[in-house]
Structure 1
Amino acid sequence: MSFVIDRYPCEESPRLGAMTLRPTPDSVPRARRWFRRFIAPYDPRCSVDDCVLALSELVTNAVLHGRADAEWVLRVEWFRDGTSLRVEVHNPGLPEGVCLRRPDADDLHGRGLLLVDSVAASWDCGPSRFGGTVVSFVMADAWPP
């Protein structure tokens, strides 16, 4: 099994959906496809393309930098917070390793969080309730008040 999708359309819950992915490169396009599919019924006003770009970067970072002594998975969850959409990516890595870099033009890597920072209203990182790290971004004004 490479991923599991949970969908929570219940109005009482701010969580709109979640998926569990294996830490492999093919999880990045899977996350993009499943996020598009499951966010569509909610018809957000924000750019779904920008959300998918930010999600791709965070999942890529989780796959590349998540570490655990045993087999592990990464978890993606998305929430409605008032008029905003918040997307979280959880992995077993350490939060102190997450930082916004300003790579030189000839650097091949290091632009992921810079891209997230440019398309999202905000982003954050810290300890995950599942253990490890959560990195999240917020898209403001995703829904009417």
Structure 2
Amino acid sequence: MAYMIDRYPSEESPRLGAMTLHPVAESVPRARRWFRKFIAPYNPACSVDDCALMISELVTNAIAYGRSDEPWLVRVEWFREGASLRVDVHNPGFPANVRLRHPDANDSHGRGLLLVDSLAESWHAAPSRFGGTVVSFVMADAWPGR
């Protein structure tokens, strides 16, 4: 199987959806498309375009920096937390290696987390419950007044 989509949250979970992707370049546009498709029924008030862009950056980083001696996957999950939307991207890398860079104007890489930092209400990196690293971002007021 090339991928798995899990978009049915349980009664107890605020999870709205999840996808599992192979660590290949084609997974980046797939993650954007799937997120747009599966978040649409929830009608968030935050910018879905901004979320898709940040997911692209985090999936790209997960693919570039995830490391394992065994075959591995990138997992993307999104949750409703009160009025906020939280997106988690998991890979088998090391949390200590996640850092915000400030690249020079002529650097061709290193802007992904800077972009996330500027668009999201907040973001963080931590050990993943699946092993490895999770990088998360939060969009505030995704469902205001609900």
TM over 0.5: yes
Q: Which runs of 4+ in 1 moved over 4 A?
A: none
Tell me the residue number matched to 1:91: 91
Tell me the residue number matched to 1:123: 123
Tell me the residue number matched to 1:58: 58
Tell me the residue number matched to 1:48: 48
Tell me the residue number matched to 1:22: 22
Q: Secondary structure at the match of 2:117?
A: helix
- CA distance in 1 between counterparts of 2:43 and 2:11 reads 15
Is the counterpart of residue 139 in structure 1 residue 119 in structure 2?
Answer: no
> CA offset at residue 13 of structure 1?
2.0
Letter matched to residue 47 of structure 1:
S
- CA distance in 2 between counterparts of 1:27 and 1:143 reads 28
Q: Secondary structure at the match of 1:41?
A: helix
Q: Cα distance 1:111–1:38, how it changes in 2: closer, same or farther (>3 A)?
A: same
Letter matched to residue 104 of structure 2:
D
- CA distance in 2 between counterparts of 1:49 and 1:132 reads 27
Letter matched to residue 32 of structure 2:
R
Letter matched to residue 30 of structure 1:
R
For normalisation by structure 1, the TM-score amounts to 0.97
> CA offset at residue 3 of structure 1?
1.2
RMSD: 0.9
- What are structure 1's unaligned runs of at least 5 residues? none
Tell me the residue number matched to 1:32: 32
Identical positions, percent: 74
- What are structure 2's unaligned runs of at least 5 residues? none
